[in-house]
Amino acid sequence: MKEMELYQLWSKTELEDADLSEELAAIAGDTDAIKDRFYRELEFGTGGLRGVIGAGTNRMNIYTVRKATQGLADYLNEAVESPSVAISYDSRIKSDKFAKETARVFAANGIKAYIYPQLMPTPCLSFAVRELGCDAGVMVTASHNPAKYNGYKAYGPDGCQLTLEAADRVLSLIEKVDLFHGVKLVDFDAAIEDGSIEYIKPEVEEKFLENVKAQALDLEACEKANLKVVYTPLNGTGNIPVRRILAMRGIKDVTVVKEQELPDGTFKTCPFPNPEIPEALALGLDLCKEVKPDLLLATDPDCDRVGIAVPDKNGEYVLITGNEVGALLMEYICKQRTEKGTMPKDPIAVKTIVTTELAAKIAADYGVKVIDVLTGFKFIGEQILYLEQKGETERYLFGFEESYGYLAGTYARDKDAVVASMLICEMAASYKLKGVSILDALNSIYERYGNYIHRQQSFTCEGAAGMEQMKAIMTSLRTDTPKEIAGQAVVSFSDYLASKTVDMTSGAETVIELPKSDVLSFTLANGNSIVLRPSGTEPKIKAYYTAISATKEGALAAIEEMKASFTKVLGF
């Protein structure tokens, strides 16, 4: 059915959400607007759904959420007997509504649905799946995307996001569901009454926090250091759990950014509620000028990512990147474990292929094996599952990705800004007692291993034309690989979709032993590198640059040269 036919069908249907009917009426006659909403179905992948809230098959609304849930329900009913699911949601527009619609569909399909009675972070959902013995989970969130987005993350029984195979099967079942007539539903309140939908009890959240607290390494530092913290939950789910865990660890002096304290899906003061973006931390940085804390913490709306800023010697607050925080935590965890005699035999840390190699350098000095996985935290969680299946979860120390996601402990299988916030504060307190700042500790790492500087560049490709543009770029680079970038010869080229690395000098090929993924990597003659991949959650193609130099200035200059050169290669 073509876009206009779908538009007419939706327009003639008596929709339950008045907002959708108003939107459809408002775009009458606007061919481009209609095409954008109906040219495809919102894609269900390993990360579930994510899209702009609104009317149409290519939008997040109660109908696309119901259809996806019906497909997931059909998958669960064919895979296991008497399945159950856990559901949570964040502060985004319609998140609570989408979560309840999800529960209604599951209950109608004979699947017990446990739902948090209030918004709760993504790691709490991952924990609940395992704690309640569920066969799946759903987190309604668009993570750090702008306010116009919402999303739907699907989880397996291990608390990780769905595997590639499971996601493919769910997608095949979703495609069979008629959007308006193929979905089973029950009344939410009636289902609460008969027990087919059940609110998750407070004890689950309490147990989650106890598991987070158990990851502490320096039990006295926080209380002794009198650490002063400014915190912003960016109007999301982190406000209560992060403040609670800090209080449980003895960190009393926490000032919250008032404008960003309470849930607000419009994100009025931070249009891009992403701690990776400096603008999102602007109000927090302004408050730092007044409060003068040891540390600024910022968690994203579903509280699975955390960003920080710390004062330099002049009292100016400096943002620390995800790679830098990951390297700092790797060093801190390894050192504390070694000193306290709690380092396990054959310890393991896990990072993604676009995450700093500095972590591997640090880990090697402590005898820790680092495993590289594809981008996406579920691949880190998957490594924990492998250890669990062998009865060796104690070997797992730490996992992280450059995009501000970290996990210590195996109680959850997705990144957790609650435990990361606790460990970052503990690390800052421990260093403070020794007269060492976070920046001092970071510079010490760079002095030992070299200045590993990383930057990310995103190229937005909106709408149907944007999707085609991204495909064309990736195809072109595969068929006509650049021989030179930023004046440096490309010495090796890796294509993770073809599962091979090519030596550009000899032509020799080696096999990449990871699942196929639409990722390209270029290594230059000077050791610097670029990784390129289309985002799985946003209409963007992302480039990750790494430069290594004896000086920070030299590495930064190399990054800028690579960005300028590679932008031309991509045609932007």
Active site positions, annotated:
143
Main-chain phi, psi angles of 369, to 5 degrees: -80, 130
Paired tokens of 195: 């027990």
| Rounded Cα–Cα distance for residues 504 and 509 (Å) | 9
Contact 349, 410 (CB under 8 A): no
What totals of helices (H) and strands (E) does the chain contain, helices first?
Answer: 19, 23
Q: How far apart are CA 329 and CA 461, in angstroms?
A: 34
Bridge partners of residue 298, in order along the sequence: 232, 307
299 Cβ partners below 8 Å, 6+ apart? Answer: 231, 232, 233, 234, 236, 238, 242, 275, 305, 306, 417, 421
CA distance 88 to 104: 14
Residues 6+ apart with CB under 8 A from 263: 91, 119, 235, 236, 237, 239
Alpha helical stretches, state H, 434-551 = 438-449, 463-479
The structure tokens listed for 494 are: 């890796």
CA distance 505 to 248: 57
Measured CA to CA in angstroms, residue 519 lies from 219, 353, 357, 370, 534 at distances of 42, 10, 18, 20, 8
CA distance 296 to 227: 11
Q: Which residues partner with 499 through β-bridges?
A: none
